[in-house]
């Protein structure tokens, strides 16, 4: 490494959705932008989240100076606790972003106290040879920023996630002037969000959701249940405002929804009308036309608040005939089955479930469409361009878009994948090999549960504690259990009391089945999760061992 080289390497987020993390190195100094995670595909059994492999950063850890966060979505901050357990560096971000990070850190015991530094848009910080200015951008979460990183070789602009919303609900406008100023002075490299590079036109403003929501509150004769991403503070504000306008009290349901609402309110980012909030346990006692719910679980996650409500398994809330349920979020690809199953459950109860594309919309994207991408490219006019955040087809579309604009000064676009190293010096820019990247699978709880490969995790698990297979025969149509569950175990022996222990285990599974309602029994995802949780509790209590539990449901 000579002092004249600038290196940019995406450690995640290129060619995939989620795990956004980019390292920028000049000489012997590295800064890292974002540390995100992604949710696992169904085939990653036993994995709770997936994060980027930090090998490159750990190999160069004396050079890593700081972690800079653009905003508070999980695909940008979800891996921060694991990052900090390996690399003790200061973190910079806006107050709301760092409050969300703190909430995540509470679940982990780190050896050192994290060094969190709050920055505001327009503020400039200096780290080694880098000067970093935070630039306000509009996105589906509040307090999102782009970064202008001044290096000895020139300026790098990292947009973070953005859309250009001309009428944001909090009136915090996208700071296009600062971007344009950097563009006039000359930008060496632009790293720009590519998520919607296959969507023509402009992304609608957050305010576009209001007319549809207004109409729902106006015509709903019974309860209104609104589910959105807990980080969508704009959307939460809209529901609170409309509830006040139409004389409804609001109950906030779901751990993430409650916690993010509290954080946003404490920072002055969410205004809660006086006396509007209702305790969840009181909500069902109120007249149905006087109550609204804000609830998390838009993606049909098996144990989320909305999934439990859908099958009457929530202790405070249920959906009844004539209620209106609103899914104000996009359906994340891969989650369709779980979401539609949840919608089916609520439709069976006679609820009117509103979701998907409508006009006016129930949900608008937080990412720029093609015209906004063009605007940013034309304002910044970089010498080199590297699309980030998206699958390969989206990155290549974004690169082609930049080349079609043909503004003066663009020398080359680089469509990279995670691990590719972009090197820039006084002679120009080039791809300069690869660094070690990959996925690290996390199995809930502590940092010690990080596993490089699910296969290794399962092999270790099986070799130490064996496997237990509860086998249940369920009538697919009636949801009736045909016989008492069978328990098969391999590599898991329980001394003399074996038969008695297995008999009790069968009773535990039978009890779980008895305590589940008709619809849960026909929803195999929910049933497997419930059986696994109850059986695990029983086995750990009785034996202090943790075998791999894989419920098998036979369709008869």
pLDDT digit string, tens, across residues 277-308: 999 999 999 999 999 999 999 988 878 899 99
Rounded to the nearest 10°, the torsion over CA 470, 471, 474, 476 is: 110
* pLDDT at residue 423 tops 60: yes
* pLDDT at residue 451 tops 70: no
**Whether this model's pTM surpasses 0.85:** no
Half-sphere exposure of 165 (CA within 13 A, CB side): 29
* pLDDT at residue 513 tops 70: yes
The verdict on whether 367 is a catalytic residue reads yes
CA–CA dist 328, 362 (Å, integer): 5
Q: What is the pLDDT of residue 446?
A: 39
Helices (H), 186-247: 210-219, 233-245
Q: What is the pLDDT of residue 478?
A: 66
Cα–Cα distances (Å) from 63 to 9, 10, 279, in that order, read 15, 17, 50
Task: Single out the catalytic residue among 161, 175, 193, 523.
Answer: 193
The verdict on whether 193 is a catalytic residue reads yes
What domains sit in the chain, N to C, each tagged with a CATH number? Answer: 6-201+365-442 (3.60.15.10), 206-354 (3.40.50.10710), 453-555 (3.10.20.580)
CA–CA dist 339, 207 (Å, integer): 25
> Do strands 144-151 and 130-137 pair parallel, antiparallel, or not at all (unpaired)?
antiparallel
pLDDT more than 70, % of the chain:
93
On average, the pLDDT of the chain sits at 90
pLDDT tens per residue across span 52-108 = 999 999 999 999 999 999 999 999 999 999 999 999 999 999 999 999 999 999 888
Between 508 and 145, the higher pLDDT residue:
145
pLDDT more than 90, % of the chain:
66
Task: Single out the catalytic residue among 234, 345, 367, 398.
Answer: 367
pLDDT tens per residue across span 171-206 = 999 999 999 999 999 999 999 999 999 999 999 999
Q: What does the pLDDT average to over 346-371?
A: 94
Instruction: Extract long-range pairs of 178-185: CB within 8 Å, 24+ residues apart.
Output: 178/122, 178/133, 178/135, 178/148, 179/135, 179/146, 179/148, 179/376, 179/379, 179/380, 180/379, 182/148, 182/155, 182/157, 182/380, 183/379, 183/380, 183/381, 185/155
What band does 454 get if pLDDT is binned at 50, 70 and 90? Answer: low
pLDDT tens per residue across span 227-240 = 999 999 999 999 99
Strand ranges, E, within 119-193 = 124-127, 130-137, 144-151, 154-158, 187-193
CA–CA dist 204, 163 (Å, integer): 9
Between 39 and 459, the higher pLDDT residue:
39
Q: What is the pLDDT of residue 554?
A: 81
Question: Residue 32 is encoded by which pair of tokens?
Answer: 């890292």
Q: Please classify residue 44 by burial: count the beta carbons closer than 10 Å to its beta carbon, then call 0-12 exposed, 13-18 middle and 19+ buried.
A: middle
């Amino acid at each position: 490494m000579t002092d004249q080289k600038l290196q940019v390497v995406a450690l995640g987020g290129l060619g995939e959705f989620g795990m956004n993390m980019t390292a920028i190195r000049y000489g012997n100094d590295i800064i890292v932008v974002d540390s995100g995670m992604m949710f696992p595909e169904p085939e990653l059994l036993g994995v709770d989240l997936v994060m980027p492999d930090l090998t490159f950063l750990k190999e160069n850890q004396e050079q890593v100076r700081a972690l800079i966060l653009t905003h508070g979505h999980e695909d940008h901050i979800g891996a921060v606790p694991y990052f900090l357990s390996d690399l003790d560096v200061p973190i910079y971000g806006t107050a709301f972003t760092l409050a969300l990070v703190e909430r995540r850190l509470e679940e982990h015991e780190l050896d050192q106290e994290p060094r969190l530094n709050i920055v505001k848009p327009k503020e400039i910080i200096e780290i080694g040879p880098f000067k970093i200015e935070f630039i306000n951008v509009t996105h589906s979460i509040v307090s999102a920023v782009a970064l202008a990183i001044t290096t000895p070789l020139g300026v790098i602009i990292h947009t973070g996630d953005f859309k250009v919303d001309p009428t944001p609900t909090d009136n915090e406008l996208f700071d296009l002037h600062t971007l344009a100023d950097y563009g006039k002075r000359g930008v060496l490299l632009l790293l720009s969000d590519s998520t919607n590079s296959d969507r023509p036109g402009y992304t609608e403003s957050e305010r576009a959701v209001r007319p549809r929501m207004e109409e729902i509150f106006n015509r709903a004769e019974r309860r209104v249940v609104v589910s959105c991403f807990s980080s969508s503070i704009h959307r939460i504000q809209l529901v609170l405002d409309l509830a006040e306008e139409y004389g409804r009290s609001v109950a906030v349901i779901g751990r993430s929804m409650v916690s993010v609402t509290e954080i946003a309110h404490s920072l002055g980012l969410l205004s809660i009308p006086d006396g509007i909030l209702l305790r969840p346990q009181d909500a069902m006692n109120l007249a149905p036309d006087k109550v609204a719910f804000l609830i998390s679980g838009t993606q049909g996650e098996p144990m989320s608040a909305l999934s439990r409500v859908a099958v009457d398994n929530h202790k405070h809330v249920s959906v009844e005939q004539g209620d209106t349920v609103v899914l104000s979020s996009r359906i994340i690809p891969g989650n369709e089955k779980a979401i539609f199953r949840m919608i089916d459950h609520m439709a069976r109860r006679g609820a009117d479930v509103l979701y998907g594309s409508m006009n006016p919309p129930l949900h608008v994207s937080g990412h720029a469409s093609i015209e906004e991408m063009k605007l940013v490219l034309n304002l910044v006019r970089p010498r080199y361009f590297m699309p980030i955040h998206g699958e390969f087809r989206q990155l290549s579309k974004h690169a082609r878009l930049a080349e079609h604009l043909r503004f003066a000064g663009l020398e080359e676009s680089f469509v990279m994948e995670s691990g590719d190293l972009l090197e820039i010096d006084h002679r120009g820019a080039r791809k300069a090999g690869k660094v070690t990247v990959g996925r690290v699978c996390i199995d809930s709880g502590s940092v010690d549960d990080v596993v490089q490969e699910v296969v290794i995790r399962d092999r270790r698990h099986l070799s130490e504690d064996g496997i237990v297979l509860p086998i249940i025969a369920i009538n697919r149509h009636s949801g009736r259990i045909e016989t008492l569950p069978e328990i098969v175990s391999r590599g898991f022996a329980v001394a003399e009391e074996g038969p008695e222990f297995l008999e009790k285990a069968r009773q535990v599974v039978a009890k779980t089945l008895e305590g589940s309602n008709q619809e849960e029994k026909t929803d195999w995802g929910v049933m497997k999760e419930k059986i696994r949780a109850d059986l695990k509790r029983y086995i750990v209590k009785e034996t202090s061992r943790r075998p791999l539990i894989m419920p098998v449901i036979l369709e008869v």
